[in-house]
Each structure stands twice: as structure tokens, then as C-alpha cells.
Amino acid sequence: MNRVEGKTCIVTGGAVGIGHACVQRLAEEGAAVAIFDRQDAEGEALANAINHAGGKARYWHVDVTRESDVARAIAEVADHFGGVDVLVNNAGISGSTKLTHEITEEEWDLVQAVNVKGVLFCTKHSLPLMKRAGAGSIINLSSIYGLVGAPDVPAYHASKGAVRLMSKTDAMIYAPDRIRVNSIHPGYIWTPMVEHHLQASGATDIAAAREEVGKLHPLGHMGDADDIAWGVVYLASDESKFVTGSELVIDGGYSAR
């Protein structure tokens, strides 16, 4: 229950899905958690539930594509909780399902703005606080599609490949500051984003589509948000003090093929 006790953690996209699970598990393990999202009702409800249960959490409305939003919120987190020890760059969108010859510049840029620039801005403004503290852990949510290809959603795949290499680059740059940077690569996890992606891809029977996509994984089913959240807890904790520049693959065997 105390794996991250005394640490302050920021979770972007923390109101729903994987982010929601990360917030819950980090709080249960003793962290003070700053929830960044644009879904205010869900974010406020989650923070209130954690505080009511005896944990520490606060919600901030943040658009990760706007550097001024990010800078303001991170400064407020440091002022409110006393610093920043862990950053979980989870905010992301699947974006347009159009193929390369169809996608518009605007559709492409939206995915890169959330999935890549969002990671850049949050990392950029957390690093000075971690350097001041003498340590830190940055956890970037990439995807199996930051490791392998597939014949669909090219903008999303490009963004997740970028996140993977951003993680390795920053791991090397900031290792002398004792700041660790790692990426997590989920397989298909049953979340609102995946449900929306299946709908956007033309699925009419969502239950059947969920089962069919689950069969792509050798374990035979999609994962749950907690499967990723426990990986985040590990990388946030001192249990992973010798882990940086690594890829934590949590994909039910998908990428082992």
C-alpha cells in the first residue's frame, strides 16, 4: 500500500480509461496525484472520491496541446503539493482512421498535437522540478504500434513511434540528473478510446468486435486498464530505480508474434 508513498504524480488524461486506473492505483499506493484532463465532471468526481477515501488528489483542467496551459498547471501542482516526482504522459487520441492517401493535414496535426506535443510540453515543464528534487520518473504511454506496424490509423502509429524514441532520448539526456524515462506499450485495452476506435472503424456489434480484436492477442482477450496501471506504479516506484530507456510491453503477447 506504500509503493509510491510521499511522491507527487501527475497523470495526463487522468479522468477516464487507463489514466483513471493509474490515478486510482497511484493514490492507493500513497502518492499525491494531480489529474490533468479536459473532462471536468469525471476528473472532479475522481479527485473527490480519492480524497473521500483518505487519499490525496486534485483535478486541473488542462489542454496538453497548449504549452501555456501545461506550464501553468504544473507550476500550480508544485505549489500545491510541494514538487513533482512522477509524470505519467497518458493523454492521447486515436484520431482519424483515414489512410495516408486520404488523411488531411488538419487531421494528422491533431493527433500529433495531443500524442506528441502533449508529451513534449508536460515533460519540458516537469523536468526543472525533477532536477531540483534530484530525481524523477517520467512514464510515457506509447503503444504496441510504437513497436510494430499495422495497415491502419497511420497518424496514430506515427505518433506512438515518436513517443517511444522521445522516451529513449530523454532517458539518455537526463540520466545524470537521476531522472528516469520509460515507455509503456499496451496492447488493446478495453477503454472508451478503444470502443470509439472500433465504432469509427465501422463496427456495429461492439461486443463481437471486442471479442474478435481480443483474439489478436495470444492470451485471447483484450486487457483491462489496471493491467497498465500496475505497470505505471512499478515505474513510478523505487522498485524500478535501475530502469530507464526501456519499453515495458503489456500486450497479452501481441507483439511476440
| Active-site residue set | 156
- Long-range contacts of range 48-52, CB-CB < 8 Å, 24 or more positions apart? 50/23, 50/24
CB-based contact 166:140 (threshold 8 Å): yes
SS (H, E, C) 109-156: HHHHHHHHHHHHHHHHHHHHHHHHHCCEEEEEECCHHHCCCCCCCHHH
Q: Give, for 141, the enclosing helix (H) or strand (E).
A: strand 136-141
Contact of 25 with 229, CB cutoff 8 Å:
yes
Q: Which of 204, 213, 202, 112 is CA-nearest to residue 154? A: 112
Contacts of 54 (CB under 8 A, 6+ apart): none
